[in-house]
Amino acid sequence: MPMRLEIVTGERVVYSGDVDAVVAPGIEGELGILPHHAALMTMLQPGELRVTKDGQDVLMAVSGGFMEVLPHKVTILADTAERAEEIDEARAEEARKRAQKILAEGAAAEIDIARAQAAMRRAIVRLKVAQKKKRRGL
């Protein structure tokens, strides 16, 4: 019996449908969720989100947020979420380079360093998800 998955950002509903499994980047590592999972609430870190439906994987990049798991429903409130096919690799690579430059220059303000590190993590996740989709031919 599949479970319902809702992935929502502040701007849009990214995914809504029945799925067989979800693998999410929990704050303490990857979490695999199957139907009838025990209820839980957790924070998400930037990473790859894998949704399996009918033996097919859908890959997404998330930049953090929260996940609520109920026995027959998973709700993800993501800061940002993009399907692999929506990711602009060139733009993600440029963001990675900008963040890398700020970090290399050792910006004076701590806030700039923290923002650059967060931007670097987001860009790397986006690139990994997009490249994995290409390799798998999804």
For 88-132, what is each residue's pLDDT tens digit?
888 888 888 888 877 777 655 555 777 777 887 888 888 888 888
Rounded to two decimals, the pTM is 0.75
Average pLDDT over residues 68-96: 89
Say yes or no: 55 and 42 in one domain.
yes
Say yes or no: 44 and 107 in one domain.
no
Say yes or no: 77 and 97 in one domain.
no
Say yes or no: 119 and 53 in one domain.
no
* Greater model confidence, 4 or 129: 4
Domain boundary among 40, 66, 84: 84
Q: Which residues pair with 59 in a beta bridge?
A: 50
Say yes or no: 47 and 62 in one domain.
yes
Average pLDDT over residues 66-75: 96
Say yes or no: 27 and 64 in one domain.
yes
Say yes or no: 79 and 94 in one domain.
no
- Is residue 117 within 8 A of residue 103, CB to CB? The reply is yes
SS3 letters for 78-124? ECCEEEHHHCCHHHHHHHHHHHHHHHHHCCCCHHHHHHHHHHHHHHH
Q: Which domain holds residue 25?
A: 3-84
Split into its structural domains, the chain has a count of 2
Q: pLDDT tens, 32-61?
A: 999 999 999 999 999 999 999 999 999 999
pLDDT, position 65: 95
Say yes or no: 20 and 60 in one domain.
yes
Say yes or no: 80 and 93 in one domain.
no
Say yes or no: 9 and 73 in one domain.
yes
